[in-house]
Amino acid sequence: MFIAMNRFRVNPERTEEFEQIWLERETHLKGLPGFVEFHMLRGPEEEDHVLYASHTIWRSREDFEAWTHSEAFRAAHANAGQSRREGLYLGPPKFEGFEVIQTVGND
């Protein structure tokens, strides 16, 4: 299993706008080979930003990498650089990828 995360530092005065963008967007993930699930996480609030993370679980790193080269990926990120979002983020998102080495379930 592979977990792909992007961390976003968001202007505290624009968190509602950021959340609305994510809640209204088409992810283009459903039905993709190896896609398991997606979460958008809201984290701690600092003085200058609120931390968010997109958290996507894939069957394998290869499935994730195949998605990043797909038409679905291009469609999902087509509006990522819109100028109306200037000042929404404190810098670019930070990507982090993780290979799962242990899973503990409740079953």
Tally of helices (H runs) and strands (E runs) in the chain:
3, 4
Asked if residue 67 lies in contact with residue 2, where contact means CB atoms within 8 angstroms, the answer is no
Could you tell me the pTM of the whole model?
Answer: 0.83
Domain 2-79+87-99 has CATH 2.60.40.1930: no
Asked if residue 73 lies in contact with residue 25, where contact means CB atoms within 8 angstroms, the answer is no
Per-residue confidence band for 70, with pLDDT thresholds at 50, 70 and 90: confident
Q: Domain limits of the chain?
A: 2-79+87-99
The model's pLDDT over 17-64, given as tens digits with 9 standing for 90+, comes to 999 999 988 888 888 999 999 999 999 999 999 999 999 999 999 999
**What are all long-range contacts of 97-105, with beta carbons under 8 Å and residues at least 24 apart?**
97/2, 97/3, 97/4, 97/5, 97/61, 97/64, 98/2, 98/3, 98/4, 98/5, 99/1, 99/2, 99/61, 100/1, 100/2, 100/3, 103/1
